[in-house]
């Protein structure tokens, strides 16, 4: 995909996000939003940050369904964490789990998804010698949270985000 098309997509995503989050649509503020998003896009283009790794468009088609699932998991984890804290039953554990993602964007998505769900935090990401497989060190408030991670459901969903055409982890 041409860099100019990637830059245009980046600008549209940035400006769309800015419009959604701003809530103010006066000509001055919209103009400042256009200028700031254009400046960010130009800087990303100049440092080559809008390549396939910096702007992983291959994730975008499947991302909405994943985000709906992730929000549901965050809500359920919030409830479980609240019960655990209010009941005083926290028994923290540290454990390692493999990550099967093939791209840097997939590995980061999985690690961040674990951290976003209350009760678990990704502490460290270790890559093997060839950089093709990863292992996460995770802190969980209780063994039940560990079971949620090691079940592999989130890992599989993150891996399905990756397209077959995506390259290896860099």
pLDDT in tens, 13-28: 999 999 999 988 999 9
Give the closest residue to 6 by CA, choosing from 49, 37, 43, 35: 49
Q: pTM score, two decimals?
A: 0.71
Containing structural domain, residue 92: 59-161
User: What's residue 165's pLDDT?
Assistant: 42
Instruction: Kindly report the backbone phi and psi dihedral angles of residue 84, in degrees, each rounded to the nearest multiple of 5, phi listed first.
Output: -65, -45
pLDDT score at 163:
57
- Domain assignment present for 78: yes
Residue 82: both structure tokens together: 């609240």
- Please give the residue that has the higher pLDDT: either 71 or 5: 71
Quick one: 63 and 134 in the same domain? yes
Q: Does residue 75 sit in the same domain as residue 101?
A: yes
Strands of 134-140's sheet in order across = 93-99, 134-140, 120-127
CA dihedral 82, 86, 91, 97 (to 10 degrees): 0
Do 30 and 86 belong together in one domain? Answer: no
Q: For residue range 37-67, list pLDDT tens digits in order.
A: 999 999 998 988 877 766 777 677 788 888 9
* Residue 142 within a domain: yes
């Amino acid at each position: 995909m041409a860099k100019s098309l990637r830059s245009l997509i980046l600008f549209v995503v940035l400006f769309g996000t800015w419009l959604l989050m701003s809530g103010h649509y006066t000509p001055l503020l919209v103009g400042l939003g256009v200028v700031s998003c254009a400046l960010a896009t130009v800087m990303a283009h100049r440092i080559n940050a809008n390549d396939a790794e910096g702007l992983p468009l291959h994730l975008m088609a499947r991302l909405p369904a994943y985000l709906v699932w992730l929000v549901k998991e965050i809500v359920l984890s919030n409830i479980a964490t609240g019960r655990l804290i209010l009941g005083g039953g926290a028994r923290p554990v540290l454990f390692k789990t493999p990550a099967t993602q093939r791209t840097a964007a997939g590995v980061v998505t999985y690690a961040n998804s674990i951290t976003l769900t209350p009760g678990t935090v990704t502490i460290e990401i270790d890559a093997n010698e060839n950089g093709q497989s990863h292992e996460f060190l995770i802190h969980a408030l209780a063994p039940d949270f560990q079971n949620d991670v090691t079940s592999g459901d989130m890992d599989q969903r993150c891996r399905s985000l990756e397209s077959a055409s995506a390259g290896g982890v860099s």
